[in-house]
């Protein structure tokens, strides 16, 4: 198995790092190895259009700011905008940070949502709650997030 490692690690409360979770070879976690997956796909047991309806959500706690990655503000005052410059992408209407040149090359293959907003308390947790459940925190009653689907099955 190939590990993609960097210098820093961000731990969640249970001690699992983001890099551990995104380790190359995660098909093994589902009990399905690459040979079995390819054989099932060849036999027609896997719907080739299923991927068109799928979504991968990677929620990185402690990730870089949107001002440094996907929502640069090049016309904003120097104290607001980040140190990076926008670059053109494969999608004519999208510019992203210069730190993502390979991501920019495939920008015509992904969707970028820049319209997230909430009027709840100005804390990150409220925004995370809304991103993962579609609802605001309602005084002790939390709605299950996307991970609940995985645990159900």
Cα distance between residue 153 and residue 151, in whole Å: 5
In a domain, 55, yes or no: yes
State the DSSP H helix or E strand holding residue 19, giving kind and residue range, or none if neither.
Answer: helix 18-21
Range of the domain at 36: 1-63
For residues 56 and 69, membership in a common domain is answered with no
pLDDT of residue 4: 46
> Tokens 């309806």 sit at which residue?
53
Last residue of a domain, one of 46, 63, 80: 63
- Domains in the chain, number: 2
For residues 28 and 69, membership in a common domain is answered with no
For residues 34 and 76, membership in a common domain is answered with no
In a domain, 81, yes or no: yes
Q: Mean pLDDT of successive 10-residue segments in the chain (153 residues)?
A: 48 53 52 66 69 63 83 88 92 93 93 73 74 71 66 68
In a domain, 103, yes or no: yes
Please state the pTM of the whole predicted model.
0.49
Last residue of a domain, one of 63, 89, 107: 63
CA 53 to the chain's CA centroid: 16
């Amino acid at each position: 198995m190939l590990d993609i490692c960097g210098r820093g690690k961000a731990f969640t409360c249970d001690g699992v790092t983001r890099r551990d979770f995104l380790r190359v070879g995660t098909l093994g976690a589902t009990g399905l190895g690459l040979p079995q997956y390819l054989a099932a796909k060849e036999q027609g047991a896997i719907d080739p259009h299923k991927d068109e309806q799928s979504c991968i959500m990677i929620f990185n706690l402690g990730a870089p700011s949107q001002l440094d990655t996907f929502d640069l503000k090049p016309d904003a005052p120097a104290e607001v905008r980040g140190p990076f410059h926008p670059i053109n992408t494969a999608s004519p209407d999208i510019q992203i940070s210069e730190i993502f040149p390979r991501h920019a090359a495939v920008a015509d293959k992904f969707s970028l949502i820049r319209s997230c907003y909430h009027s709840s308390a100005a804390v990150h947790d409220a925004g995370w709650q809304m991103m993962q459940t579609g609802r605001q925190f309602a005084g002790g009653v939390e709605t299950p997030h996307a991970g609940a689907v995985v645990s159900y099955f």
